Amino acid sequence: MAKLRISVDHDICVGNRMCETFASKVFVINENGQSEVADPEGDTEENILEAAENCPVSAITVVDEETGETLFP
Amino acid sequence: MVTSITDDMFTGEAIADPYSYYGKIRDEDPVYWNELYELWVITKHDDLVWMTRNHELFSSEFWARDKRPPYPAIDESDMGLYAYMREFFMDWFIQHDRPVHTDQRKVVHKWFNPKSMEMWRPMVQQVIRDMLDEADQNGKMDVMKDFATPLPLFIIAQMMGMPYQDRQFIRSMAEKLLFIGRGEADRMQPLVDGIKELQDYLAPMVDMHMDLPTDEDNLLSVLTSGGKNGVLTRDEVIADAILLLLAGHETTINLICNGTLAFMQHPEQWQLLKEDTLDSPNAVVRATEECLRYDPPVKSIQRIASEDVELGGKLLKEGDRIRWFISSANRDPDKHPEPDTFDITRWPNTHVAFGSGIHHCLGATLARLEAQEAFKSLAERYDKITLETDEFEYQPSVTFRSLKNLPVSLENAAP
Ligand code: HEM
Ligand code: SF4
């Protein structure tokens, strides 16, 4: 599996917590109620991309670490 | 204490200018106990966001948990209707807390994600073109009746597979359901009439979808899949269908209408939008966010305290009613510099027009898409839009910021 670089833009994240429901080991909610990346290898690429796609405000970016390709958005 | 303010939220002044009324409360007593309604009034941006992010403390099960008498008061003889209404609203998935809320929201969440919504953009553009072509024939329109209302209504009805000719019926029922945010003592009858008629209208469609394989291209069918797999009861499917129909247009109507009015009242911002739209697709995106901040379609949201909580030196007791005001949070000077200035270049724009936290608006992407296309089309098509009135009358609602009419005349841009 490709190594992923995942980030959450905290200017945008509204704490909807949907990412957590799709990949709960990868995305955890911090004290401000916003999402943080805890373990980028905590779930399958498919689930991580599904989490990113279902963030209602597109706050999540997923990049393939090796090729530099942006997988989402 | 707030100096010289009435607790009645339905006075002419509070309806006409919620920014002064709730702004005064925000500036003088931001966590305010409204004695008349026995209700906490929350008015600061940071408090609102903190509460949405601590959903364990502030329950969304308002209609299931509220033990106090209705506010504002209703006719004594209408308590039966009130009970019926509560039972109905309790079935909305928006009225649940985790974990039930998450399971129910997930039935339709993917339908509304940004990627799925993008596919609807061409249809939105087409509907707008058709509507404005018609307005051009007359050289004028009522922005509310001829543009802001039919556009989102058309789209949500289309998504849910409702017959084209039913839109007028859906709209008139929606108008009855809007009595939920009003203050008249006899408001229960029209409200419950609207609920019952929509239930009767939707029940056969839901039953039909129950027996058919799920059609991923039909929102009502997708919602009904939650009934097939036991996440939702039949009554809940019907209630959520009404929620989607209602929330899917009533709010966006006000975004388009209030936004257009803001542009008309700030001609230099209108000019800026016209110039910038040509150069950058971001211009209209930012402008739409500023419309959402400046004159938000939803004024306030209710919760109920799940336990005793201290906020701003006040003790909110378990079971206390809470209403937080987007109208005042979006104008909070501690969050937004020069909050009363309409500035379409403001960025980042951290307004809370769609709420925040786990209940953040399901339809936010759709609403943004529709409004962006609406403002862009107006800016591209018209040299000049002139207000044909200087009186602005709003629906007497504590929930919605909704104009009754907005007549304008139109001057086309040179082709
Ligand atoms: C400009 C337009 C809109 C505004 C200002 C708006 C505003 C809001 C707000 C403030 C909330 C939070 C409610 C809460 O915290 O209890 C919300 C939730 C919701 N909105 Fe919207 N809305 C808009 C458009 C839409 C559209 C187009 C739809 C559907 C097609 C929709 C469906 C919903 C639903 C289902 C929820 C409940 C979400 C949940 O509880 O998880 N809204 N909206
Ligand atoms: S889904 Fe998006 S908005 Fe919600 S917590 Fe995750 S990153 Fe934030």
Do B365 and A18 lie within an 8 Å CB cutoff?
Answer: no
Output the six-digit token pair for B125.
Answer: 């553009």
Length of chain A: 73
Determine, yes or no, domain membership for B231. yes
Of the candidates A15, A57, A58, the beta carbon closest to that of B357 is on A15
Chain A to chain B Cβ contacts (< 8 Å)? 50
3-class SS letters over B241-254 = HHHHHHHHHHHHHH
B312 φ/ψ sector (left φ>0, alpha ψ -120 to 50, else beta): left
pLDDT tens, residue by residue, B382-406: 989 999 999 999 999 999 999 999 9
Q: In what order do the strands lie in the sheet with B58-59?
A: B31-34, B39-42, B321-325, B300-305, B58-59
Spatial separation of the C-alpha atoms in residues B235 and B224, rounded to whole Å = 11
| pTM confidence score | 0.95
Within 8 A by CB and 6+ apart from B412, the residues are B136, B381, B382, B383
pLDDT at B415 over 60: no
Determine, yes or no, domain membership for B49. yes
Q: Judge if the beta carbon of residue B170 lies within 6 A of ligand 1.
A: no
Contacts A73 to B, Cβ<8 Å = 114
Interface residue B360 vs chain A (CB under 8 A): yes
Q: In what order do the strands lie in the sheet with B382-387?
A: B140-142, B407-412, B382-387
pLDDT tens, residue by residue, B180-207: 889 888 899 989 999 999 999 999 999 9
Q: How many angstroms does the Cα of residue A13 sit away from the middle of ligand 2?
A: 5
Interface residue A15 vs chain B (CB under 8 A): yes
Q: How many angstroms does the Cα of residue A57 sit away from the middle of ligand 2?
A: 7
Mean per-residue pLDDT over chain B, rounded: 94
Determine, yes or no, domain membership for B6. no
Residue B414: predicted pLDDT: 60
pLDDT tens, residue by residue, B260-314: 999 999 999 999 999 887 678 889 999 999 999 999 999 999 999 999 999 999 9
Which DSSP helix (H) or strand (E) runs through B315?
Answer: strand B314-316
- Return the CATH number at B49: 1.10.630.10
Determine, yes or no, domain membership for B1. no
Domains and CATH numbers, chain A: 4-72 (3.30.70.20)
Of the candidates A14, A32, A53, the beta carbon closest to that of B113 is on A53
Pocket of ligand 2 (CB under 6 A): A 8, 13-19, 27, 34-35, 55, 57, 59-60
- Adjacent-strand bridge partners of B324: B42, B301
Greatest distance between any 2 Cα atoms in chain A: 33
Q: Around Cβ B283, how many Cβ atoms within 10 Å?
A: 22
Nearest CA among B94, B31, B88, B83 for reference residue B59: B94
Average pLDDT over residues B324-330: 98
What is the extent of the structural domain holding B72?
12-412
Determine, yes or no, domain membership for B158. yes
Determine, yes or no, domain membership for B74. yes
- Adjacent-strand bridge partners of B244: none
Look at the alpha carbons of B336, B339, B343, B349 in this order and tell me if their dihedral is positive or negative.
Answer: positive
The ipTM of this complex is 0.92
Spatial separation of the C-alpha atoms in residues B11 and B325, rounded to whole Å = 17
Which DSSP helix (H) or strand (E) runs through B264?
Answer: helix B234-265
Band of pLDDT at residue B177, cut at 50, 70 and 90: confident
Determine the Cα angle at A9 with ends A3 and A11, to 5°.
175
Q: Contact at 8 Å (CB) between B181 and B399?
A: yes
- Total structural domains within chain B: 1
Q: What secondary structure letter does DSSP report for B391?
A: -
Residue A1: predicted pLDDT: 62
3-class SS letters over B57-94 = CEECCHHHHCCCCCCCCCCHHHHHHHHHHHHHHHCCHH
